[in-house]
Amino acid sequence: MSKPVIWIPRRLSPATLDRARRDYEVIVKPDDTPGTAAEIIDMSARVDGMIPCHSEQFSADVVAQLDPRLRIVANHSVGTDHCDLPALRARGIAVTNTPDVLADATAELAFMLMLGAARRAVEGDRIVRSGAWDSWSPAFLVGKQVTGARLGIVGMGGVGRAMARKARGFDMQVHYHNRNRLPPAQEGAAIYHQRVEDLLAAVDFVSLHCPATPDTLGLMNAERIALMPRGSILVNAARGALVDEGALLAAIESGHLAGAGLDCFVTEPGGNPDFAAHENIVMMPHVGSATVATRDAMGFRALDNLDAFFRGEAPRDLL
Ligand code: DGY
């Protein structure tokens, strides 16, 4: 029996590509640039499945033009805001994602951003690197202590819970907001806030780990940022659309926020050039899940989903 044909638009890990080539007839986009709408539509007539990343946009318009040959979109991402899920479902195309496997890597990066913003890592690195370090004083580069502070996690899915586990190692008091309160075994000592507004007012650090949905767009607007205590720090390693970047900038410039740590931006790739002048904003280019182990795990999870689908079973991560 001939193998299903799949399209892989981005450069996935070598182990993922090896396994994909073993089990499928694979077409890899050679230049590792985001698959355009025209490429997605064109490839849909040539393949049975695709493994896109969050860089490929399956808008309603694109989905309407997909060829019926395409039967599954097995995303190499936990986020699916690049996919119009109702439109894909209406076309009968299966969609899967890769939950859980990137939780630790993403939480690790969020923690790095939080520590970096709290302990003034960008400024310190610049001073040493540029040769400008010419004195020392107890008043030099004094930051905000993370150990023992209060951390507010918005979104207690896999990444939020991984963040909470790491925070416990820093003796942080963990607060969280989630659509649903966690069962006691998962909640542990974390303090639940039914209203995100109450959480924001109760903590020293806020870390966003919820998906971008119509309900969460612009979640951190001027009003909600104002609820955070003066001198607190906002971290976003989830999606840029959760934050009103103008409001964040105003809060940094007024000194209301002591800093921010951002792995996600409204405009990606590229980011927000207005943030660049502020060394208390630590920035990374959307690489929360970018570790060797996690890239393999994401690729394998996407392939597991494809394998199940082509065996005629329900994929584990069917959305
Ligand atoms: C995800 O998996 O959603 C990450 O943002 C990387 O794409």
Q: If you write DSSP's letter for every residue of 121-187 in order, what string do you get?
A: HHHHHHHHHTT------TTTT-----TT-EEEEE--SHHHHHHHHHHHHTTPEEEEE-SSPPPHHHH
Task: List the catalytic residue out of 25, 223, 253, 268.
Answer: 268
pLDDT at position 275 is 98
State whether the beta carbon of 53 lies less than 6 angstroms from ligand 1. yes
* Total domains, the chain: 2
Q: How far apart are CA 60 and CA 195, in angstroms?
A: 32
Q: What is the mean pLDDT of the chain?
A: 98
Return the pLDDT at 1.
Answer: 74
237 CA to centre of ligand 1 in angstroms: 10
Could you confirm whether 268 is annotated as catalytic?
yes
Answer yes or no: do 218 and 81 share one domain.
Answer: no
Using an 8 Å Cβ cutoff, are 236 and 243 in contact?
yes
On whether residue 316 sits in a domain, the answer given is no
Its pTM stands at 0.96
pLDDT value at 236 more than 80 = yes
Is residue 35 in a domain? yes
Contacts with 306 (C-beta within 8 Å, 6 or more apart), sequence order: 4, 6, 24, 49, 51, 72, 74, 315
With a CB cutoff of 8 Å and minimum separation 6, the contacts of 77 are 53, 54, 97, 98, 298
User: Same domain for 248 and 298?
Assistant: no
Residue 35 tokens, joined? 């698959």
pLDDT of res. 123: 98
Task: Please tell me whether residues 128 and 201 are part of one structural domain.
Answer: yes
Parent domain of 202? 103-283
CB of 2 closer than 8 Å to CB of 23: no
d(CA 162, CA 157): 9
**Distance, CA of 174 to CA of 192 (rounded, Å):** 9
Residue of the CA atom closest to atom 4 of ligand 1:
77
pLDDT at 164: 98
Share of the chain above pLDDT 90, in %: 100
At 36, is the pLDDT very low, low, confident or very high (cuts 50, 70, 90)?
very high
For the question of residue 165 being annotated catalytic, the response is no
Across the range 290-302, mean pLDDT stands at 98
Task: Indicate whether 63 and 172 sit together in one domain.
Answer: no
pLDDT at position 126, please?
Answer: 98
Please indicate whether residue 286 is annotated as part of the active site: yes
* CATH number of the CATH domain containing 58: 3.40.50.720
CA of 77 to the centre of ligand 1 (A): 4
Q: What is the pLDDT at residue 78?
A: 97
Structure confidence by residue, pLDDT tens digits, 53-82: 999 999 999 999 999 999 999 999 999 999
State the closest ligand 1 atom to the C-alpha of 238, by its place in the atom list counted from 1.
Answer: 5
> Could you tell me if residue 270 is inside a domain?
yes
| pLDDT at residue 246 greater than cutoff 90 | yes
pLDDT single digits (tens) 248-260: 999 999 999 999 9
